[in-house]
């Protein structure tokens, strides 16, 4: 919980998550959207990884990051619900068809 909120407490990291909403992106592709150095971005990715909000997958030279929406959902909605906010817990997702298979 703390890890998630700490990760979310930085605007750059929140923006990274937003970018990842549209599908997986490489570290470099993500970094291009920001005005800080690659190493700094790499550190931000590490924080998000440690919070389990994103996952990395290696693809050739690149590292592809993708959003772990369910983790974000559980943290955010779980906390909200503890305040009586938001909807009741969702039963289940439809099988998680993530990215149009070929």
Partner DNA sequence: ACATCATTTAGATGATTAGCTAAATATCGA
Partner DNA sequence: TCGATATTTAGCTAATCATCTAAATGATGT
Residue 41 interaction partner, one of DNA, a copy of itself, none, beta carbon < 5-8 Å per kind:
DNA
Lookup: tokens for 37: 């150095």
Q: Residues near 20 by Cβ (< 8 Å), separated by ≥ 6?
A: 30, 54, 65, 66, 67
Contact window for a copy of itself (CB under 8 A) among 6-14, 30-38, 42-50, 57-65: 6-14
Which residue in 4, 47, 54, 72 binds DNA (CB under 7 A)? 47
- Told to check if 55 binds DNA by CB under 7 A, we report no
Long-range contacts from 53-59, C-beta under 8 angstroms, 24+ separation? 53/4, 53/7, 53/17, 54/16, 54/17, 54/20, 57/24, 59/26
| CA-angle at 67, arms to 79 and 26, nearest 5° | 150
Contact window for DNA (CB under 7 A) among 20-28, 73-81, 87-95: 20-28
Residue 2 interaction partner, one of a copy of itself, DNA, none, beta carbon < 5-8 Å per kind:
a copy of itself
- Told to check if 56 binds DNA by CB under 7 A, we report yes
Contact window for DNA (CB under 7 A) among 36-44, 71-79, 81-89, 91-99: 36-44
């Amino acid at each position: 919980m703390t890890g998630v909120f700490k990760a979310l407490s930085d605007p750059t990291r929140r923006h990274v998550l937003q970018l990842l909403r549209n599908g997986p992106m490489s570290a470099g592709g993500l970094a291009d959207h920001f005005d800080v150095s690659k190493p700094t971005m790499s550190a931000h990715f590490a924080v998000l990884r440690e919070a389990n909000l994103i996952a990395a997958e290696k693809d050739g030279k690149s590292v592809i990051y993708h959003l772990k929406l369910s983790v974000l959902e559980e943290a955010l909605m779980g906390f909200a619900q503890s305040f009586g906010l938001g909807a009741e817990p969702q039963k289940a997702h439809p099988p998680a068809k993530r990215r149009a298979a070929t």
